[in-house]
Amino acid sequence: MNLAYSSRIEFISFEHRVASLAWLSSKIEKNVDLELSELRAIRAAGTHRVKGWESESDEALDESVFMLDSDIRQISVNWPPWGAHNRLVDRVLLTGATLSF
């Protein structure tokens, strides 16, 4: 068995996983931003309010905004929860670096 070839295959597999994580993180981030924009427009227009339940309607919308802007955004950046790959994914996203296959 050629160990040098085997190591290259493992590295290529790792590169594909990192690229996939970077892509997924970017897509989630963009969609969270889009959803937040839509929820803020709904809030400004007041179309989410139910007559007699205005306060509760505002609270429900605020909870959705909070969940998107904190929990979901955080999950997208830190998934999976172990850390080594996150630094590499962050580097790829922040610097615009590319991984060649």
Please report the DSSP string for 18-82 in residue order.
HHHHHHHHHHHHHHHHHHHHHHHHHHHHTTT--TT-HHHHHHHHHHHHHIIIIIIHHHHHS-SSS
Model confidence pLDDT, tens digit, residues 2-27? 555 555 666 677 778 778 878 888 88
Model confidence pLDDT, tens digit, residues 43-59? 999 999 999 999 999 99
pTM greater than 0.75 (yes/no) = no
Element (H, E) at 101: none
Token output for 17:
């996983």
Contacts of 50 (CB under 8 A, 6+ apart): 56, 57
Measured CA to CA, the distance from residue 49 to residue 60 in angstroms comes to 10
Determine the Cα angle at 74 with ends 31 and 55, to 5°.
75
